Structure 1
Amino acid sequence: MVPFARTLGITWDSVGEGRAICRLPDREELHNHVGGPHAGVLFTLAESASGAAMLSVFGDQLERAVPLATSARVEYRKVAKGEVWAEARVLGTREEVVGTLDAGERPVFEVGVDVRNGDGEVVCVVNVTWTLRPHRR
């Protein structure tokens, strides 16, 4: 786990087959001025879930490439209250991404994430763009 995610207290429910679910308990020290988790906390939860989903598909490629998040699009829909959880899913196919890497190019792919409150309402939607940068020889 990335140290910052551990600092926030993110826990994992499941990771595998291009999906990941993680959650964050409600803690006052993570709140913003309107009483919900700070936007940065929600983003970190979503980005962490996206990384886990990505690694569940492409973790076997770490010997030849380093995964890097290159950009993210965030839509905050409503104030989150209580515990929040994120569900991420890899939107590209393994065949396309690994095929691009095999061709000596840098693949780019998306991971979509829905962040929900305890009632299951979507409070934030994040799309993270990832690449696998081949190791320099």
Structure 2
Amino acid sequence: MRQQLESGEIAGSPFSQHLGIRYCSVGEGRAHLQLSTAPFTRNFNGVTHGGALFSLVDAAMGVALFSRTPEGLSTATLESKINYTRAVHEGTVDCYSEVLHLGSRTALLEARIEQDGQLVAKASATFALITQQDLKRSRKS
């Protein structure tokens, strides 16, 4: 699956596809994803919902980390923080993410969203690295 993501053969998770997130480039601990606004991504004020932007950030950080995660491990977001700097009314936004630290149990990532060269949001997150055995145990609980 890693090679398929990096080559663009996979368009992301079903949730990302539902939001219209496009995977522009993925690899070497980095990712560039895009989201075009649509009526269903807007809040009551007519601007892009912060949750849609956060989903873009989480997807970008997750796939950047996936490109560096050792075989046999999975990942999960432990915590994330986002700061919004401007509203997005319409158009396309770009999200750039990067793995800052990859340890044996956790990873630290950051991402930024831009529109037309202007900063829209900045985020950071800690992800857990999970063994397949731990994943199976959590499904039984």
State the TM-score, normalizing by the size of structure 2: 0.80
Q: Which has the higher contact order (CA 8 A, sep 6+)?
A: 1
Among candidates 73, 76, 80, match of residue 84 of structure 2: 76
Give me the identity figure in percent.
28
Cα deviation, 1:24-45, whole Å, max 9, x if unaligned, reads: 1121221123332100000000
- C-alpha separation in 1, matches of 2:92 and 2:17: 16
Pairing 1:43–2:42 present = no
* Number of equivalenced pairs: 122
| Paired residues of 2:84 and 2:122 also in contact (CA < 8 A) | yes
- C-alpha separation in 2, matches of 1:29 and 1:46: 18
Q: Which amino acid aligns with 2:41?
A: L
Among candidates 38, 63, 70, match of residue 27 of structure 1: 38
Q: Which amino acid aligns with 1:112?
A: E
Moved over 3 A (4+): none
Please, which moves more after superposition, 76-85 or 123-132? Answer: 76-85
- C-alpha separation in 2, matches of 1:32 and 1:128: 24
2:100 counterpart residue number: 91
- C-alpha separation in 1, matches of 2:76 and 2:94: 23
Among candidates 5, 15, 25, match of residue 4 of structure 1: 15
Shift of 1:46: 0.5
Q: How does 1:106-125 map onto structure 2 within 5 Å?
A: 107-117=105-115, 119-125=116-122
Gaps of 5+ in 2: 1-11, 135-141
- C-alpha separation in 2, matches of 1:72 and 1:32: 22
Shift of 1:85: 1.3
Pairing 1:13–2:24 present = yes
